[in-house]
Amino acid sequence: MTEAEALIYFPNGRVELEDVFSEKLFEIKQFLLSRFPNSKIFQGRIEKLRSFQDAFEVLGGTLMKKNSEGYSFDVTLSSVRKTVTDYTIARNALKMSLLRSEDGESIKQVLDNLIHVTTIYASAWSHHGAVGDEDILIGKEPDPMELMNALKEYETDGYQSFKDLVHLEIENPLVKESKRLSLWLKFEQNDN
């Protein structure tokens, strides 16, 4: 990238270069944090960030590059509650790691980990319940309290595992979550 091309991203040149880059980085992080993982959308934002970052470096900016922490997520499928809890912990840890990331490569690593963890989580849900309800929005997560209340009722009724989801009514939040994550998984697999 030439200096002239870099000035497209930083019209004021080197004036407040660090501040402008920090603002853009913050905007991108906020966008990514507010979305349910989606490889295509994440990839587009990373490409924009990399272009902005290249321009920043051409104009003399320096990055504080950090390696992002890896995060492992194992699904034991011992119970729906444990899987939901483990995923929530892993997702929150990765989101915190995203907030600490200061360059495109470390953000990409965190997002790749988030997609991977979400894929494992969605796979746990994907074989349960009928798929194909038109009113399911794959990018819209259910209300956490509604999901936890449904999970509590599920356990009160004597159910614990994913295979027991077939006993629930189609309008149950757990069945809807199974459908949503199954559709998300298909969407992600078709994108790649």
Q: What is the mean pLDDT of the chain?
A: 88
Q: Lowest-confidence range among 34-38, 58-62, 120-124, 130-134?
A: 130-134
Question: pLDDT over 90 for what percent of the chain?
Answer: 59
Q: Which burial class, exposed, middle or buried, applies to 148 when counting CB atoms under 10 A from its CB (0-12, 13-18, 19+)?
A: middle
Report the alpha-carbon distance of residue 51 to residue 45 in Å, rounded. 10
Neighbouring CB atoms inside 10 A of 121's CB total 23
CB 71 within 8 A of CB 97: yes
Give the chain's radius of gyration (CA, Å).
Answer: 20
The token pair at 183 is: 């559709």
User: Where do the domains of the chain lie?
Assistant: 3-191
Please state the rounded mean pLDDT for residues 11-18: 85
Predicted pLDDT of residue 70: 60
b/e string for 57-87 if b means 16 or more Cβ within 10 A? ebbebeeeeeebeebebebeeebbeebbebb
- pTM as predicted: 0.87
Residue 131 pLDDT exceeds 70 = no
What pLDDT was estimated at residue 14? 80
Return the percentage of the chain with pLDDT > 70, whole number.
88
């492992």: which residue's tokens?
Answer: 72
What amino acid is encoded at 50 in this protein?
Answer: R
Q: What are 27-81's pLDDT values in tens digits?
A: 999 999 999 999 999 999 999 999 999 999 999 988 876 655 666 666 666 789 9
Q: With a cut of 80, say whether residue 117 has pLDDT above it.
A: yes
Q: CA 180, CA 145: separation in Å to the nearest integer?
A: 17
| pLDDT of res. 129 | 55
